[in-house]
Structure 1
Amino acid sequence: MPRLSEVTTALAALWPASLAEAWDAVGTVVGDPDSEVNRVLFAVDPVQEIVDEAVRIGADLLVTHHPLYLRGTTTVAADTFKGKVVHTLVKNDIALHVAHTNADKADPGVSDALAGALDVRVVRPLVPDPTDPSGRRGLGRVCELEHPLTLRELADRAADRLPATAQGIRVAGDPDATIRTLAVSGGSGDSLFDDVRASGVDAFLTADLRHHPASEAREHTSLALLDAAHWATEWPWCELAAAQLDEISDRHGWGLRVHVSRTVTDPWTAHAASARPSPAATLPASAARTPS
């Protein structure tokens, strides 16, 4: 069996720390470099439920997309939820390794996995990495559909192909609009609106779209928007990453047992739709008319 240091060296080659944003916290968080690794679990969030799953399946290494400590801390006391995660990992000899914005920018990366889940063809990065001479790394992806779909059909595909969450897929735009090109970005993507508009795509699928950026994007262009749950847009990367580690394990004869968590760690657990009519429908006819 390989040592943890050998496995993390291989993971660092897939997702170099140099690709991470300056504010990010990536790499190995917990673990003895000389410990042996036999079983690996991939997940989006390093929360207690995932750590308990790692314990249950006998994992030696947990690889997550989101960092455990993105900002500094002064304690890992077990009476804090992140401290309890650390204590559980250490007590059970489980290492934790994080690949966040370095996995976002990698080739292939988080948005490649999202595009693959949607069955659309990646054309280029949405925001190219200027340090990559091949032009393949960067944030987000610009994609083409094999056959045009209506916005309604594309939303149905996203709802069918991405993991189910309470949010589902929110849509902004004409449901019958024809979509031929699509930008995708796993995770929070409304900071990329300028790049999306510049790309000239018909639609943008991402997560965590806020009211004002989404409203402004709709007012400026005919860009259609599809807003999925943050966790759902990043979970496909876990399957991609697991397959990459499987290939490395086979090549080196490590015999690793690689798993992907199916546990839904999206924080939203339910969705309630209002049965009340829209405000305009409840106003007197004179008040509801558009002023001339």
Structure 2
Amino acid sequence: MKKANGHEIIQLFESWSPKKLACMDNDPIGLAIGTLNKEVTKVLVTLDVNDKVADEAIEKGCQLIIAHHPPIFRKLSNLRTDTPAGKLYEKLIKNDIAVYAAHTNLDVADGGVNDLLAEALQLENIEILEKTYHENLMKLALFVPDDYAEKVRVALAKAGAGSIGNYDSCSFSTNGQGRFRALAGANPFIGDIGEMETTDEEKIEVVFTESIKNKVLKAMLNAHPYEEPAYDLYTLAVETNEMGLGRVGKLKEPMSLESFAEHVKSRLDVPRVRVVGDTSTLISKVAVVGGDGNKYIHTAKRSGADVFVTGDIGFHMAQDAESIGLNIVDPGHHVEKVMIKGVAEKMDSLCSQAKLSVEFVQSEIDTEPFTFI
């Protein structure tokens, strides 16, 4: 195991929960406070960053905090240290503790907040509630001398081209003849300057996701023997790697809304929930969105869910849900605390695989602002 710096840790984190998954305008994700350009031996994982959490990080010797809720949500007009927020930022900076925030990108990521909530609720056959991200597929068609076709195919496969579902190294080939004439100043691999040349070539076609386009093209150019390879590049009308907010799944066995509300309290560790709907209604299909899910009540209804589990439901939104026949169980916003254990365990696994010596500490501070009486 080797020592890690902050950049290495966050690179691993973003390989799992990349910034491109963020689905809120101007979501202030990423490094919020401090620097990643330092050695990091301990990382505190928390839902929120407040004064008590900062003290916890100091006490436990953490150099980095990974939080779900950004500590700086709106742009600062000043940085005064005589305000509560300013004092918090000052404490973190003086103790050289960096803060990295993963907000809606962590909501969307596979194994992120919403998957963790669906898992906690013991849902099965889980699907995405609202699709917010996808990648386009691209196709590369290139022409290679027969003797070099296998070398180029292997290079493309190593770069990730030709990966389709549970298969890799997928390609299609046709044979033909290529013609060209090298002009003055060229350095032809085959043929002579000024002479028409005809050679047996193989046309290789591969598909790949748009995000690795540059990697694939670089691999192709490095492996291709020609000075000026001929190739075509297309964007296909095919979407892949679909991801999104919220999850929908089914309970192992149907239960009444009243029993389900108790199930939510127990599984998400909350003292009470708010319920909209007839408590005797039978519940089978469940939609869940971590945090504030007010804008997704109609999406939840269209998904066929019998009940929508989400936080911060407003009075009029509850009335709207009631009018469309959608039951709601509101356990509050703070149930997103499931990310503390989930992120710590995921990052511990990623760093172990990368042979980085880092300890991920799960915050023990309860940042729930409400007291239930």
TM-score normalised to the size of structure 2?
0.69
- Tell me the equivalent position of 1:246: 348
Distance 2:104 2:125 in 1: 19
The answer to whether structure 1 residue 147 and structure 2 residue 253 are counterparts is yes
Q: 2:280 aligns with which of 165, 168, 176?
A: 176
Structure 1 counterpart SS, 2:4: coil
The answer to whether structure 1 residue 19 and structure 2 residue 50 are counterparts is no
If each structure's strand is expressed as a fraction of its own residues, which one has the higher value? 2
- Tell me the equivalent position of 2:337: 235
Q: 2:297 aligns with which of 169, 193, 197?
A: 193
Q: Which amino acid aligns with 2:348?
A: D
Q: What is the deviation of 1:110?
A: 1.0
Q: What is the deviation of 1:251?
A: 0.6
Q: What is the deviation of 1:179?
A: 0.8
CA gap of 1:163–1:200, structure 2 versus 1, over 3 A, is same
Asked if 2 retains the 8 angstrom alpha-carbon contact of 1:229 and 1:266, the reply is no
Q: 1:225 aligns with which of 324, 328, 332?
A: 328
User: Please, which runs of 5 or more residues in structure 2 have no aligned partner?
Assistant: 136-238
Asked if 1 retains the 8 angstrom alpha-carbon contact of 2:287 and 2:308, the reply is yes
User: Please, which runs of 5 or more residues in structure 1 have no aligned partner?
Assistant: 272-292
Distance 2:300 2:354 in 1: 40
Moved more, 184-193 or 17-26: 17-26
Distance 1:153 1:63 in 2: 35
Structure 2 counterpart SS, 1:97: strand
Distance 2:364 2:259 in 1: 26
1:91-110 superposed matches below 5 A:
91-110=94-113
The superposition leaves residues 162-219 of structure 1 with CA deviations (integer Å, 9 ceiling, x where unpaired) of 1335xx2111222221111000000000110121111111000000000101111111
Q: What is the deviation of 1:76?
A: 2.3
- Tell me the equivalent position of 1:267: 369
Asked if 2 retains the 8 angstrom alpha-carbon contact of 1:62 and 1:97, the reply is yes
Q: 1:68 aligns with which of 63, 66, 71?
A: 71
Runs of 4+ in 1 over 6 A off after TM superposition: none
CA gap of 1:115–1:253, structure 2 versus 1, over 3 A, is same
Q: Which amino acid aligns with 1:86?
A: Y
Structure 2 counterpart SS, 1:123: strand
- Tell me the equivalent position of 1:280: none
Moved more, 25-34 or 60-69: 25-34
Choose 1 or 2 for highest CA Rg: 2
Over aligned residue pairs, what C-alpha RMSD do you find?
Answer: 1.5
Identity %: 32
Asked if 1 retains the 8 angstrom alpha-carbon contact of 2:287 and 2:307, the reply is yes
Q: What is the deviation of 1:86?
A: 1.4
Moved more, 120-129 or 42-51: 120-129
Q: 2:267 aligns with which of 135, 157, 161?
A: 161
Query: Comparing both chains, which one has the higher relative contact order based on Cα–Cα distances under 8 Å and sequence gaps of 6 or more?
Result: 2
Asked if 2 retains the 8 angstrom alpha-carbon contact of 1:112 and 1:122, the reply is no
Q: Which amino acid aligns with 1:106?
A: A
Structure 1 counterpart SS, 2:15: helix
Distance 2:296 2:283 in 1: 19
How many residue pairs get matched?
Answer: 267
Asked if 2 retains the 8 angstrom alpha-carbon contact of 1:126 and 1:139, the reply is yes
- Tell me the equivalent position of 2:226: none
TM-score normalised to the size of structure 1?
0.87
